[in-house]
């Protein structure tokens, strides 16, 4: 009888521990792979792809943006990110050279259609690290986008998103 209680207690603890790990992962997710779409100045799709995990066994040449071109970043499957109110988000780009870019955090519907721009930043540098805490905006679907404001082309060598 005592052995059954001990086994039951151990099973219950394992279940509680596994549930708490799942909850922790949902609140601090580090997105290692993202899909991207590059739009030209006229809003036409120029390029699509997936930014691989930095530990991938293949090479990736990055995303080159000419002046005025925009890259949109979503989950690997192309869907927007689902983010809860109060969550701190960090989007970081590593660029091949110092340049001026505009980054935006966009609220969308479940299909990824933009509803409103929540926050924008203008950044000049070789690394663009952008952080934002999601406040009281309605909806829970979001994605990032960035536009090259420099006169020369710039290449995004790496992108990451943590929330």
The encoded tokens of residue 61 equal: 């040449």
pTM equals 0.77
DSSP 3: H
pLDDT of residue 124: 92
Please say whether the beta carbons of 97 and 126 come within 8 A.
Answer: yes
Q: For the chain, which residues make up each domain, given as ranges?
A: 1-30, 32-162
pLDDT tens per residue, the chain (163 residues)? Answer: 555 555 554 454 445 544 443 333 344 566 678 999 999 999 999 999 998 876 666 667 899 999 999 999 999 999 999 988 888 989 999 999 999 999 999 999 999 998 889 889 999 999 988 888 888 766 689 999 999 999 999 999 988 888 8
Domain 32-162 has CATH 3.30.70: no
Kindly state the helix (H) or strand (E) to which residue 133 belongs, with its residue range.
strand 114-133
């Amino acid at each position: 009888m005592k052995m059954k209680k001990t086994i039951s207690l151990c099973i219950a603890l394992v279940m509680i521990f596994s549930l708490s790990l799942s909850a922790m992962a949902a609140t601090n997710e580090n997105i290692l792979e993202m899909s991207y779409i590059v739009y030209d100045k006229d809003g036409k799709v120029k390029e699509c792809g997936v930014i691989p995990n930095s530990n991938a066994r293949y090479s990736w040449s990055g995303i080159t943006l000419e002046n005025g071109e925009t890259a949109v970043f979503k989950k690997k499957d192309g869907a927007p990110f689902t983010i809860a109110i109060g969550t701190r988000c960090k989007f970081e780009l590593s660029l091949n050279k110092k340049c001026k870019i505009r980054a935006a955090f966009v609220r969308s519907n479940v299909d990824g259609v933009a509803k409103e721009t929540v926050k924008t930043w203008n950044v000049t540098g070789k690394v663009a690290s952008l952080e934002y805490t999601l406040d009281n905006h309605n909806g829970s679907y979001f994605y990032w986008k960035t536009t090259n404001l420099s006169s020369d082309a710039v290449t995004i060598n790496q992108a990451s998103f943590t929330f």
